[in-house]
Chain A
């Protein structure tokens, strides 16, 4: 209808609002909105605009010097920032999908298990712990030394079952007369019956010596036999390498091998308390004496979870541990609101459980799943605290993510507010599409 019609038929729409009353209502609206507007302006709008402007200026001061797009160029040329962007991409690619999938699995499971409350509590509990505390806890669990890190301790008990540690894992040859061969040690000079093999070892702490060790004694040599000694070739100050001296102890219980010229083991024996051993009735020929690799097998040293290569996966595992509970609770709520009769109908029609899950449950849950997914994308883009708490300083550069890079650039070491602002703006730009998606969804739901 046009304005002319309104004046022609005033009563059609009730009394026309007087211009005065309309302005009054408008003013009331403004007055009520004002506090919120002021707060938004001061704490949201102004900082955003200032950050955008600041990102074109130099390091410090209220503004600093104009540097144009240099800060943005640095974003893609500085190696630590490029790593941060790459890592954030990995996070976004992996975490939201995994969290949603795990949450879905847990939510469906809670419908089937007996101890629902206990299970839900256990999965949800990590949400109650601050991300910083989680970081510290997981850092301890990830320690490489199996005597400190729970995860490597578990790996060690598996590893030890297959390849146990040797009795002298840290031992080293004391002289070059002993050569390392295939993990074991072999005396270089060939031996003949009647000869003496001296196998001196160092690098063994006194407290690591087998109990009952006695002063090492040099065997005299016996016709038709090969004798020898394995001993800790060290006394305070070093001693003379390769010489059995007073104060140096034999190592009992070491398995010594005798190999013939073809390299085949013909005899093995164990050393006595003084470290002496004897191969009896050795036929004429040339032999090599040595200690097998098993004696020196290193104990399982642990995986380097906190090393530069594994740090991002390690962080992601800890992060998923926190957020899986959130996803589970939201999805479980969605599940409980789902119409049961649809599931029943599907089952009655002969669908298998998997088909019900795949064709009915998941499609009906799609809106909830996408809420969880989008929330996680936003959370992951902003991830910060767990990285700074969990990753040791030496791998902080390898573990860097955008939000952390922003803070480091702006506030640590030499404050660079310009660079930090540029990263903040970049992060903001990345979040915008996700936010837009979310807002559109909200509108549709209303």
Chain B
């Protein structure tokens, strides 16, 4: 009895010591925090009146997670009393979000890549409008960008991180060997492809196993051919897939995917090549193909997986213009939309901050980031390649979303079925345009009627 009492006493004494130590550490930490606050307050408008916490779920992981943490750190300089906790949920965020909503515990802020999902969440009444941030958003974005996040006349989403899907990447040695220069127009692209084929290298490296890469090519052709307004109508299924405008765009696309001897591995090889293997093929040494018609994300893959160097090994140009005029420079974008499930002052401050050029520039400097923020200067991008791919976004006047991301996912974003699967059939059989259009229309109308 006595012994145990003794031991208990010792434990209690040790505990007291620990508590004292902890208190000391906390005091020091608080002191540091205090001085930090002071220095932050000196340069910018340090706002201590807003306090609270923001639970933020996103798809960014690894390098991107580090980048968003830096953006959040920038926010904390302005609002030291708001604690933003970012958790990476990976690509499964649509499923995770819908499960969390069903379970009654959604995050306060989330970033999602699917405009279709945003629309669905608004219709179900889960999202809060960002009316409070309208002036901040309008001051930094053109109406074309603001519209992307506007549903039923209210802003529900902010496209914080955007990508440029309207780019064409080419192998500089393959182009040099063929003696051609980067194509600016569609007819230059086709005549280049012919010359490249004669030089002994297939012109195109297609990633047919990843269905979205094929729909991306179609979307760029349709956008550059018919313009943003008609593109949006097709996205919303106001234009049917059997429309003559679709026929013409598919005929153009068939000039690329139908030239089987000009595709590395031929049609059947292309169908088994996924993204990013197609990129590795075009930028290997010697190049097995000359061009990859995909978005800005290709650049990162080239740098990570091949030995090709910017300008001497690879380069990038905007997707070739088809119809001259305003829409010749229209940009197809994909990206991460910030949506909110709550609208307390902490969340409001955070959303307003994300709309500022300062927030965007923190990440833009690190690379792998694009934004439509018109007040961001192209000079913040770390290199010439990034500037070529991302500068067209800044203040762009004609911007559309990736089409397949806007449609009901059963049609627009499911492996092996809907748009992805049917465009793979198109790659297999590029002459069957009318049958492909029929299949697309059947699948789309089904998805739009049952997409509740």
A427 to B286, CA, bound (A): 50
Q: Which of A240-283 contact B (CB under 8 A)?
A: none
Query: Do B271 and A307 touch across chains, with their CB atoms under 8 A apart?
Result: yes
Q: Which of A305-319 contact B (CB under 8 A)?
A: 306-308
Give the shortest distance, in Å, between A415 (CB) and chain B (any CB). Answer: 5
Segment from B38-46, B191-199, B241-249 that makes contact with A? B191-199
**Which listed residue (A170, A203, A394, A413) contacts B209, Cβ 8 A?**
A394
Q: Which of A130-179 contact B (CB under 8 A)?
A: 143-145, 170, 172, 174
A145 to B208, CA, bound (A): 15
Segment from B13-21, B376-384, B408-416, B430-438 that makes contact with A? B408-416
Query: Do B410 and A236 touch across chains, with their CB atoms under 8 A apart?
Result: no
Asked if B116 is at the interface of the complex by the 8 Å CB criterion, the answer is yes
Give the shortest distance, in Å, between B185 (CB) and chain A (any CB). Answer: 18
B residues within 8 A CB of A306?
272
Chain A interface, >50% SS class: loop
Asked if A238 is at the interface of the complex by the 8 Å CB criterion, the answer is yes
Query: Do B102 and A61 touch across chains, with their CB atoms under 8 A apart?
Result: yes
> Nearest B residue to A398 by beta-carbon distance?
B416
A residues within 8 A CB of B215?
none
A residues within 8 A CB of B198?
172, 174, 202-203, 233-234, 238
Interface size, A (range):
35 or more
Query: Do B417 and A236 touch across chains, with their CB atoms under 8 A apart?
Result: no
Asked if B268 is at the interface of the complex by the 8 Å CB criterion, the answer is yes
Query: Do A143 and B272 touch across chains, with their CB atoms under 8 A apart?
Result: yes
A residues within 8 A CB of B272?
143-144, 304, 306-307, 392, 394
Query: Do B268 and A307 touch across chains, with their CB atoms under 8 A apart?
Result: yes
B residues within 8 A CB of A59?
450-452
Asked if A97 is at the interface of the complex by the 8 Å CB criterion, the answer is no
Query: Do B286 and A207 touch across chains, with their CB atoms under 8 A apart?
Result: yes
Number of residue pairs spanning A and B whose beta carbons lie under 8 angstroms apart:
126
Query: Do A394 and B414 touch across chains, with their CB atoms under 8 A apart?
Result: no
Q: Which of A220-241 contact B (CB under 8 A)?
A: 233-238
A411 to B98, CA, bound (A): 10
Query: Do B417 and A397 touch across chains, with their CB atoms under 8 A apart?
Result: yes
> Nearest B residue to A232 by beta-carbon distance?
B200
Asked if B259 is at the interface of the complex by the 8 Å CB criterion, the answer is no
Give the shortest distance, in Å, between B443 (CB) and chain A (any CB). Answer: 9
B residues within 8 A CB of A87?
none
Interface size, B (range):
35 or more
Query: Do A234 and B209 touch across chains, with their CB atoms under 8 A apart?
Result: no
Chain B CB count within 10 A is highest, among A145, A205, A207, A414, for A414
A204 to B451, CA, bound (A): 51
**Which listed residue (B98, B180, B286, B428) contacts A60, Cβ 8 A?**
B98
Asked if B421 is at the interface of the complex by the 8 Å CB criterion, the answer is yes
A58 to B120, CA, bound (A): 14
Q: Which of A22-66 contact B (CB under 8 A)?
A: 58-62, 65
Query: Do B269 and A145 touch across chains, with their CB atoms under 8 A apart?
Result: yes
> Nearest A residue to B439 by beta-carbon distance?
A79
A residues within 8 A CB of B178?
236-238
Query: Do A237 and B271 touch across chains, with their CB atoms under 8 A apart?
Result: no
Query: Do A393 and B416 touch across chains, with their CB atoms under 8 A apart?
Result: yes
Query: Do B199 and A205 touch across chains, with their CB atoms under 8 A apart?
Result: yes
Contacts A60-B98, A393-B210, A397-B416 hold; do A205 and B265 have CB atoms under 8 A apart?
no
A210 to B390, CA, bound (A): 44
Chain B CB count within 10 A is highest, among A62, A174, A394, for A394
Contacts A237-B180, A413-B413, A413-B414 hold; do A394 and B269 have CB atoms under 8 A apart?
no
Give the shortest distance, in Å, between A55 (CB) and chain B (any CB). Answer: 15
> Nearest B residue to A74 by beta-carbon distance?
B450
A residues within 8 A CB of B102?
60-62
Query: Do A203 and B197 touch across chains, with their CB atoms under 8 A apart?
Result: yes
A residues within 8 A CB of B98?
60, 415
Query: Do B409 and A414 touch across chains, with their CB atoms under 8 A apart?
Result: yes
A208 to B202, CA, bound (A): 13
B residues within 8 A CB of A395?
271, 416
Query: Do B211 and A236 touch across chains, with their CB atoms under 8 A apart?
Result: no
**5 further A-B pairs in the complex, CB-CB below 8 A; given A397-B416, A414-B408:** A238-B179, A306-B272, A395-B271, A395-B416, A414-B409
Interface residues of A (CB under 8 A from B): 58-62, 65, 80, 143-145, 170, 172, 174, 202-208, 233-238, 301, 304, 306-308, 392-398, 400, 408, 411-416
Identify the 7 closest CB pairs spanning chains A and B, nearest first: A236-B179, A205-B200, A414-B409, A413-B409, A397-B416, A237-B179, A396-B416
A/B interface sample: 30 pairs, CB < 8 A: A59-B451, A59-B452, A61-B102, A145-B269, A170-B200, A172-B198, A203-B197, A203-B198, A203-B200, A205-B177, A207-B286, A234-B198, A236-B199, A237-B178, A238-B179, A238-B198, A306-B272, A308-B428, A392-B209, A393-B209, A393-B415, A394-B271, A396-B415, A397-B415, A398-B416, A400-B416, A412-B414, A412-B415, A414-B116, A414-B409
